[in-house]
């Protein structure tokens, strides 16, 4: 699968975002090691704190469908500057996805590419328990 397939899937998922409060729509597409794509979008709530980001929706969907191993995640927002995963999402992505490649894009172009280990140095994880 090409990078642009993954970015296009994230962009399509962004169309389903429920971002009535922030108006900040985000889409994510997670690639499994067997080449499947699982998407997510951000879902906000009137209580604000129950909002869940696109990346976590994608990961929780994937886990709940039985996927266990992941290669990459694309994240799309309509911003000039890159929209990287928030701290909570970094932790969840690390926990279940390991050192993913993280591809950031806006509606026109790629805006960044990182290893998750660079975005989350010195993570807390089960090796420390």
Distant-in-sequence, close-in-space partners of 43: CB < 8 Å, separation ≥ 6: 17, 18, 51, 52, 57
Q: Confirm or reject binding of residue 91 to ligand THU (CB under 6 A).
A: no
Q: Which of 55, 95, 101, 110 is catalytic?
A: 55
When the beta carbons of 24 and 124 are compared against ligand THU, the nearer one is 24
Report the distance separating Cα 75 and Cα 110, nearest Å: 10
Specify whether the CB–CB gap between 43 and 57 falls below 8 A: yes
Q: Which of residues 26-85 bind ligand THU (CB under 6 A)?
A: 26, 42, 44, 51, 53-55, 75, 83, 85
Residues near ligand THU (CB under 6 A) are 19, 22, 24, 26, 42, 44, 51, 53-55, 75, 83, 85-86
């Amino acid at each position: 699968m090409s990078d642009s397939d993954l970015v296009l899937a994230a962009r399509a998922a962004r169309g389903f975002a429920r971002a009535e409060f922030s108006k900040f729509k985000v889409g994510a597409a997670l690639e499994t090691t067997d080449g499947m794509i699982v998407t997510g979008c951000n879902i906000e709530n009137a209580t604000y704190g129950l909002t869940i980001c696109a990346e976590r929706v994608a990961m929780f969907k994937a886990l709940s469908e039985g996927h266990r191993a992941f290669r990459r995640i694309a994240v799309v927002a309509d911003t000039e500057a890159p929209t990287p995963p928030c701290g909570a999402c970094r932790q969840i992505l690390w926990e279940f996805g390991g050192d993913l490649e993280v591809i950031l894009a806006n509606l026109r172009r790629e805006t960044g590419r990182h290893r998750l280990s660079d975005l989350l140095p010195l993570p807390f994880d089960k090796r420390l328990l």
